Amino acid sequence: MCETHTAIVFFAGDRAYKLKKPVDLEFVNYTTVAARRAACEREVRLNRRFAPDVYLGLGEFRSPEREEAEPFVVMRRMPKDRRLSHLVREGAAVDGVLRTVARHLAAWHAEGPRHRDVAEHGTRDALWSRWQAGFAQVHALAADGLTLDGVDEAEQLVCRYLAGREPLFDARIEQGRVVDGHGDLRAEDIFCLDDGPRVLDCLEFDDHLRCVDGLDDAAFLSMDLEQLGAPEAASYFLARYSQYSGDPAPPSLWHHYVAYRAFVRAKVSLIQASQGAPGAEATSRRLLSTTLRHLRTSAVCLTLVGGLPGSGKSTLSGALADRLGVTLLSTDRIRKELAGIAPEQPAAAGYGEGLYTPEWSARTYAALLDRASVLLSAGESVVLDATWSDAGQREAALRLAQDTSTDLVALHCHVPAEVSAARLSVRPPGTSDAGPDIADTMASREAPWPEAIPVDTHGPLESAVARALAAVRPWGTSRAPVFRRPYTEPD
């Protein structure tokens, strides 16, 4: 026998028999036989979409003492040593299974029903409502003495991410990414048989919770693999799902959905703790830690990297963007693009002349921030490489961060004057046209930038990058798995 917060499963021979508990947990109410029967019928119907040869039908227990028969789900019993969770714990190679599950899930999502009622559950506001319902349940359990440290921070991070990302969720709906999916994709419920995996136990008690973004659906298994101590497998599975589904989602959304799934499991574990399940409270705390780690990593950030010519700002910007896996935008490139010339084509001019008049600079910075706005609203963090010597331009960047509910980090690169001069004297022609004379003039007119974090780029590049990373990720180097957009590999 095994038990969950809503069901009891008995195993006998080659069959498994699943009964619903007569419980009322607000999100489910199984206190009547009719409600339990309806839930069993739905479970069979919905799970046959994923494992038709496992869900055999309904049965009944009858007793002389009771007028109504007790319904239960009859299932083909799966070998417990072929659970994906067991194989992961044993250190077995599971990439092949994960690839197959990712392909099947993407195929189901591609073919699954899509209509207005399904799409409504993929809006930004619908996701926020699900988060709020979970937070409310956790806060209610606190009245019984079951508290989780960090819930308030999680709520703040969720609110900030969702507040500025409505265009992202609108785009997901337009792309048809919201589907009637599985809803509860756990490694414990995936069995790796010789003729292919069987995926069991989809979420059947609430259609609203099962109608989600496909990436949200896949994120549950990624979260579960991470909890099993396999972060590489977690990243691999999401990458394969994104490859097979052709999903262009930004990594921030991957992390946000993994955080959501971890929080759902934290809430369930807390409910189990209230029912007396041993170890459930500790499990809930561990899952909330995972939630916070992914929410912090998902935070969208606008990083300004400024400094005078020769200060190393462009080198640091490129290295930082590469380490973070985010988009890099540069005024040097945008300025020449607006002028219709190649980035490497020289356009040298005196200070405040040619492409460097105040009018040209204003146009360049406006284009820079416009492009950053689109990316930030779509969940993409951005590094902006510019001098940022004008306080008005810095104020415009701050307004952009506020409008998009984005974290703003300002880094000011500096080196001794003789180092800057030496760098500029040997720098080959490129996107930047500033020479030593321009740098000297700019230095004499540079306004203070007290909000920026100073970064000394005189030493090794890695030291400057470490300083920048500490500013962008103040919670430390410990973080969630790195999610990258999928690459194509041969099957």
Q: Is residue 479 part of a domain?
A: no
Q: What is the pTM of this model?
A: 0.86
Give 234's pLDDT tier (boundaries 50, 70, 90): very high
Domain-embedded: residue 353:
yes
Residues of the chain with pLDDT > 70, as a percent, come to 93
Q: Are residues 312 and 441 both part of a single domain?
A: yes
Residues 65 and 150 in one domain: no
Range of the domain at 457: 301-472
Asked which of 266, 298, 330 is the last residue of a domain, the reply is 298
- Do 359 and 444 reside in the same domain of the chain? yes
466 occurs within a structural domain: yes
Q: Are residues 312 and 373 in the same domain?
A: yes
Q: How many domains does the chain have?
A: 3
Tell whether 293 and 315 lie within a shared domain.
no
Establish if 183 belongs to a structural domain: yes
Q: Mean pLDDT over residues 281-302, rounded?
A: 95
Q: What percent of the chain has pLDDT over 90?
A: 70
Domain termination residue (choose one: 298, 316, 349): 298
Asked if residue 48 and residue 113 are part of one domain, the reply reads no
Q: Which of 267, 298, 329 is the last residue of a domain?
A: 298
Residues 396, 289 within the same domain = no
Structure confidence at residue 487 (pLDDT):
40
At 405, which CATH number? 3.40.50.300
Tokens representing 140 are: 């209610």
Does residue 477 belong to any structural domain of this protein?
Answer: no
Most confidently modeled of 20-24, 207-211, 355-359?
A: 20-24
